[in-house]
């Protein structure tokens, strides 16, 4: 089934170039030229009409930050790639905290954007297909449905957060360096001083805190993270 993407960019020239490139790669693309228009399009489909959103930040009507926040608060599990002229690390971290899955600074190479789209879509449709359920402490992790259940309740996770859980629960006790997790998550080498993994782990822990299982994820200072059950 062909993936359907929503490109949100107020600059008509950039929007057309990005959309044309993605269509050439075989994707079905809809266009929005303001944050408000994009929000309405996502609301009309309850977000389920799209497999991925490419979103600028400086948008009329509703800024991209607010759009990302609305998508995540709605509970829609659609990956969001932010494209922006802002290049500060702090801007990237803020967007990841809001729930963006990836961030690409302008000007960017169209082939790189396509590669990042492919990574996110691959992760969205990924899974073992075996229905395997791994249990760890009070967690039940299903790779096929990409769900984390704690005490009978689903925990809403972003794609990146689930991938972190899946990696950790697959090898309890193993210390995953930040570079290893970055490569697993984005299929590329980790840039120096990149804090993306730390931000996503922080977001994940905040969601796990409600169940009291955030302590399962231990920080190994100077190295990375590992999964460790209560009492260890």
pLDDT, tens only, 98-128: 888 888 888 889 989 998 898 888 776 654 3
Q: For the chain, what are the domain ranges?
A: 4-124, 133-227
With 90 as the cut, is the pLDDT of residue 36 above it? yes
Q: What is the DSSP letter of 210?
A: G
Provide the pLDDT for residue 85.
83
Least trusted range by pLDDT, from 30-44, 111-125, 171-185? 111-125
Cis peptide before 202 (omega within 30 of 0): no
Q: In this structure, which CATH number among 3.40.50.300, 2.30.42.10, 3.40.50.2300, 3.40.980.10 belongs to the domain 4-124?
A: 3.40.50.2300
Task: Determine the average pLDDT of the residues in 146-152.
Answer: 85
Residue 144 confidence (pLDDT) above 60: yes
Sheet containing 224-227, strands listed edge to edge, beginning at the edge strand earlier in sequence: 176-177, 224-227, 217-220
Mean pLDDT of the chain: 85
User: Does the structure show a pLDDT above 50 at 129?
Assistant: no
Q: What is the dihedral of CA 123, 119, 36, 27, to 10 degrees?
A: -100
pLDDT digits (tens, 9 = 90+) for 57-67: 999 999 999 99
The architecture of the domain spanning 133-227 is Orthogonal Bundle (1.10)
Task: Tell me the HSE value of 141 on the side-chain side, using a 13 A CA sphere.
Answer: 21
């Amino acid at each position: 089934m062909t993936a359907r993407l929503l490109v949100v960019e107020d600059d008509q020239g950039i929007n057309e170039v990005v959309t044309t490139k993605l269509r050439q790669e075989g994707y079905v693309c809809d266009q929005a030229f303001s944050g408000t228009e994009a929000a309405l399009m996502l609301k009309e489909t309850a977000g389920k009409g799209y497999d991925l959103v490419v979103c600028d930040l400086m948008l009329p009507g509703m800024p991209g930050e607010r759009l990302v926040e609305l998508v995540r608060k709605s509970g829609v599990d659609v990956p969001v790639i932010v494209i922006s002229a802002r290049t500060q690390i702090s801007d990237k971290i803020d967007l990841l905290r809001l729930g963006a899955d990836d961030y690409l600074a302008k000007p960017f190479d169209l082939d790189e954007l396509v590669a990042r789209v492919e990574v996110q879509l691959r992760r969205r449709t990924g899974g073992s297909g075996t229905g395997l359920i791994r249990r760890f402490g009070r967690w039940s992790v299903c790779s096929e449905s990409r769900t984390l259940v704690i005490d009978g309740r689903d925990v809403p996770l972003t794609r990146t957060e689930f991938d972190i859980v899946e990696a950790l629960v697959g090898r309890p006790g193993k210390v995953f360096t930040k570079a290893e997790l970055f490569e697993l998550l984005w299929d590329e080498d980790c840039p120096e001083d990149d804090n993306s993994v730390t931000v996503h782990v922080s977001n994940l822990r905040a969601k796990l805190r409600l169940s009291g299982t955030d302590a399962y994820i231990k920080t190994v200072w100077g190295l990375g993270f590992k999964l460790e059950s209560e009492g260890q």
